[in-house]
Structure 1
Amino acid sequence: MAIGAVLSQQWSLLFSVAALVALWWAWRVLELAWITPRRLDRALRAQGLGGRAYRFPFGDLREFSRLVAVARSVPMLPPSHNITARVAPLYHSVIKEHGKISVTWFGPTPRVIVNDPKLVREILANKSGHFRKRKFSNGIVRRLANGLVSHDGEKWAAHRKIINPAFHLEKLKKMMPAFVACCNELVTRWEDRVGSDEAKEIDVWPEFQNLTGDVISRAAFGSSFSEGRRIFQIQSEQAQNVVKMLNTLYLPGFKFLPMQLNRRVKANGREVEWLLKGIIGRRERAMREGNASNDDLLGVLMECNAAETKEAGSSKPIMTMDDIIGELKLFYFAGMDTTAVLLTWTLVALSMHPEWQDRAREEVLRVFGKEDQPDLDGVNQLKVVAMVLHEVLRLYPPVIQFDRQTYTEVELGGVRYPPGVILSLPIVFLHHDPDVWGEDADEFRPERFAEGVSKASGNSSSSAFFPFGWGPRICVGQNFALIEAKMALSRILQRFEFGLSPCYRHAPFPVSTLQPDHGAPILLKKL
Structure 2
Amino acid sequence: MSSAILAELEYAVSGLTNPPLWALPVTALALIAFSYLYAHFVTHSALRGIPGPLAAKLSNVWLFSTARRGVRSRTIHDLHQRLGPLVRIQPNHVSIVDEDAVKVIYGHGSGLPKADYYDAFLTVNSRPGIFSTRSRKDHTRKRKMVSHVFSAASVRNFEPFMKGNLENFVRQWDRLCAEAGGTARFDALDWFNYLAFDMISDLAFGRAFGMLLTGKDMAELRETPTSPPTYTSAIEVLHHRGQVNSTVGCIPSPYKPWARYIPDPFFRKGIAVARNAAKIAIAAVRDRLENPPTHDREDLLARLAEARDEKGSPISRDELTAEAMTQLIAGSDTTANSSCAMLYYAAGTPGVLEKLQAELDDVIDEDSLPTYDAVKGLPYLDAVYKESMRIHSTVAIGLPRIVPDDSPGVTVAGHYFPPGTVLSVPIYSLHHSKDIWGDDADTFRPERWEHATPRQNNAFMPFSTGPRGCIGRNVAEMELKLMLAAWARRYTPVIEERMDIEEAFLNKPVSVKISLTRR
What is the TM-score of this pair, normalised by structure 1? Answer: 0.77
Structure 2: state its 5+ residue gaps.
1-27, 212-217, 222-231
Determine whether 1:359 maps to 2:360.
Answer: no
Q: Are 1:520 and 2:502 counterparts?
A: no
8 A Cα contact 1:283 1:292, kept in partner = no
Superposed CA deviations along residues 166-208 of structure 1, whole A, max 9, x for unmatched, are 1223322332232112222222212222227453222111221
Secondary structure at 1:102 match in 2: strand
Matched, 1:405 2:402: yes
Tell me which residue corresponds to 2:434.
Answer: 434
In structure 1, the residue matched to 2:416 is 416
Distance of 1:275 and 1:438 partners within structure 2: 44
What does residue range 75-154 of structure 1 map to in structure 2 within 5 Å?
88-105=73-90, 109-125=91-107, 127-128=109-110, 130-137=112-119, 139-140=121-122, 143=125, 146-151=128-133, 152-154=135-137
Aligned match of 2:196: 212
Instruction: Go from structure 1 to structure 2 and tell me whether the alpha carbon gap of 1:52 and 1:279 turns closer, same or farther (over 3 Å shift).
Output: closer
The answer to whether structure 1 residue 479 and structure 2 residue 474 are counterparts is: yes
Is 1:42 the counterpart of 2:45? The answer is yes
Query: What amino acid is the match of 1:515?
Result: K
Q: Per-residue deviation at 1:465?
A: 0.6
Alignment partner of 1:165 is 2:148 = yes
Matches of 1:144 and 1:375, distance apart in 2: 40
The equivalent residue for 1:174 is 157
448 and 99 in structure 1: CA distance in 2 versus 1, 3 angstrom threshold = same
8 Å CA contact 1:241–1:261 kept in 2: the answer is no
Percent identity, aligned pairs only? 23
Contact 2:52 2:89 in 1 (8 A): yes
Relative to structure 1, is the Cα distance of residues 145 and 468 closer, same or farther in structure 2, using a 3 angstrom cutoff?
A: farther
- For residues 128-165 of structure 1, what are the alpha-carbon distances to aligned partners after superposition, in whole Å with 9 as ceiling and x for unaligned? 35443444455556629832122231211121122122
**Structure 2 CA distance, aligned partners of 1:212 and 1:35?**
49
* Residues 133, 150 of structure 1: 8 Å contact kept: no
Aligned pairs (5 A) from 1:254-265 = 254-255=258-259, 257=261
Q: Which amino acid aligns with 1:50?
A: P
1:416-467 deviation digits (Å, cap 9, x = unpaired): 32344321211111112222222232222212223xxxx61x2312321111
Pair 145,188 (structure 1): closer, same or farther in 2 beyond 3 Å: farther
1:303-356: CA deviations, max 9, x gaps? Answer: 2x1xx34xx444x43x32222211111112211122111111111111222422
| Equivalent pair of 1:40/1:418 in contact (CA under 8 Å) | no
* Distance of 1:29 and 1:282 partners within structure 2: 52
Please give the TM-score of this superposition, normalised by the length of structure 2. Answer: 0.78
User: Shift in Å at residue 271 of structure 1?
Assistant: 5.4
2:409, 2:88 → 1: CA distance?
16
Once superposed, what is the RMSD of the aligned Cα atoms? Answer: 3.6
- CA distance in 2 between counterparts of 1:32 and 1:265 reads 31
| Residues 207 and 120 (structure 1), Cα distance of their counterparts in 2 relative to 1, 3 Å cut | same
Give the letter aligned to residue 415 of structure 2: V
What amino acid sits opposite 2:220 in the alignment?
R
Count of residue pairs brought into register by the alignment? 465
Q: Supply the distance in 1 between the matched residues of 2:333 and 2:490 (Cα, whole angstroms).
A: 24
Residue 373 of structure 2 corresponds to residue 377 of structure 1: yes
Asked if 1 retains the 8 angstrom alpha-carbon contact of 2:493 and 2:515, the reply is yes
- Aligned partners of 2:77 and 2:428 also within 8 Å: no
SS in 2 for 1:201: strand
Q: What is the aligned partner in structure 2 of residue 189 from structure 1?
A: 172
Task: Say which is worse superposed, 401-410 or 215-224, in terms of deviation.
Answer: 401-410
Moved more, 177-186 or 404-413: 404-413
Does residue 1:329 correspond to 2:320, yes or no? no
Structure 1 contact 350–357 (Cα < 8 Å) conserved: yes
Alignment deviations for residues 451-492 of structure 1 (CA, whole Å, 9 cap, x no partner): xxxx61x23123211111122222121121121112122221
**Contact 1:431/1:464 (<8 A) preserved:** yes
**2:52 aligns to what?**
51
User: Aligned in 2, Cα 1:421/1:330: closer, same or farther, shift over 3 Å?
Assistant: same
1:230 aligned partner, one-letter code: E
Q: Which residue of 2 aligns with 1:490?
A: 485
Q: Deviations over 1:191-247 (max 9, x none)?
A: 222227453222111221111011111111114746994369447414424423543
Name the aligned partner's letter for residue 213 of structure 1: F
